[in-house]
Amino acid sequence: MKCIGVLTSGGDAPGMNAALRSVTRTAIFNGLKVKAIYRGYKGLITGEIVPFETQNVSNIIQQGGTIIKTARCPEFHTLEGRKQAYENLVKEGIDGLVVIGGDGTFTGARIFSQEYNIPVIGIPGTIDNDLYGTDYTLGYDTALNTIIQAVDKIRDTASSHERLFLIEVMGRDAGFLALNAAIASGAEAAIIPEIATEVDQLEQLIQHGFRKSKNSSIVLVSESDVTGGALAIADRLKCKGYDPRVTILGHIQRGGSPSALDRILASRMGVAAVDALLDEQRSVMIGIVNNEITYIPFTKAIKSEKPVDKYLFDVLKLLSI
Ligand code: F6P
């Protein structure tokens, strides 16, 4: 292996820049050339490929987003698109790839790697934490911290007005952000796609809190078709005579300087990704399990369900009395 390409793809996540820095510097340390591919798979198809030296990744460890940009790329789902991408790799002399992103990124990577026999290593970068085979994905910890800062602020107004607030958080189809942010912010409940909560149950929880002289309630709701999101829950509660306020945190959750945990994770995963290429591994995602680096085949990372820890749901319930 002489030259590796690196790209970020899908939704950006805090820590992607720290991972890019780590991949670039580890590769250069090992005598490899590095080329950054801008705008994810889109840039691979259009040939937006730039040689990177160590100084290209100076002063980025603390920056949110991704300096090499990202995109969602439907063209990469086509044979034609991937053929063009491969031709650009050959033209640039790239013989291994590191892709930083989520399940969509790894789905593309797995097919591409098989079709063209090119080694691809994945680094999990998504605030959703929804990838099997890793305890944490890059950006998840930072997003959790962003959420609890917002909830702390909402609590001030909730308690002043003695109101019920429903706060919707991201996560796509996974409840990790909602459940853990609910525990960390002392919320009354979390509504997540993995555990069905009927409005009657939610009502009981809220009533219970009020009876115990709590004068306000905060409920975190995962976005998703299963929960219907905070607005749908609010409508159902309104029918029962409540007057909830809704806050949808939205893309604020994706931004900001990465936490220490995300920076360290990104640095470790970047080193592990280059090591994996040098060890002739292919089609694996780097994971972290019990604080140890692991390598998990793309097929498993994408296709296996990552369960939420139901015990955390009980902890939340117990502490919200
Ligand atoms: O996967 C990260 C994520 O932020 C999800 O939580 C969310 O559902 C989605 O991306 C939003 O995507 P977009 O920024 O493309 O609207």
- pLDDT tens digit string along 182-207? 999 999 999 999 998 888 888 887 87
Position 18 confidence tier, pLDDT thresholds 50, 70, 90: very high
Name the closest-CA residue to atom 14, ligand 1: 11
The alpha carbons of the chain give a radius of gyration, in whole angstroms, of: 21
Q: What is the pLDDT of residue 264?
A: 98
Query: How many whole angstroms separate alpha carbon 60 and alpha carbon 92?
Result: 25
Q: Is 128 known to be catalytic?
A: yes
User: Per the confidence metrics, is the pTM higher than 0.95?
Assistant: yes
Q: Which of 197, 209, 204, 128 is nearest to 162 (CA)?
A: 209
Q: Residue 257, Cβ neighbours under 10 Å: how many?
A: 14
pLDDT, one tens digit per residue, over 250-306 is: 999 999 999 999 999 999 999 999 999 999 999 999 999 999 999 999 999 998 999
Q: Are 172 and 295 in contact (CB under 8 A)?
A: no
* Active-site entry in 128, 130, 141, 262: 128
User: What pLDDT is stored for residue 209 in this prediction?
Assistant: 65
Task: List the residue whose alpha carbon is closest to atom 2 of ligand 1.
Answer: 11
For the Cβ of 229 lying below 6 angstroms from any atom of ligand 1, the answer is no
* Atom number of ligand 1 nearest to Cα 177: 6
Residues 101-157 have pLDDT tens digits of 999 999 999 999 999 999 999 999 999 999 999 999 999 999 999 999 999 999 999
pLDDT at 212: 64
**Residues 214-258: pLDDT tens digits?**
788 999 999 999 999 999 999 999 999 999 999 999 999 999 999
**pLDDT at residue 99 in the model:** 98
Contact 26, 51 (CB under 8 A): no
Q: Which residue is closest in CA terms to ligand 1's atom 11?
A: 11
- Counting ligand 1 atoms within 8 A of each CB, the residue from 12, 127, 249 with the most, and so the one to mutate, is 127
Q: Are 27 and 57 in contact (CB under 8 A)?
A: no
**Statement: residue 179 has pLDDT above 70:** yes
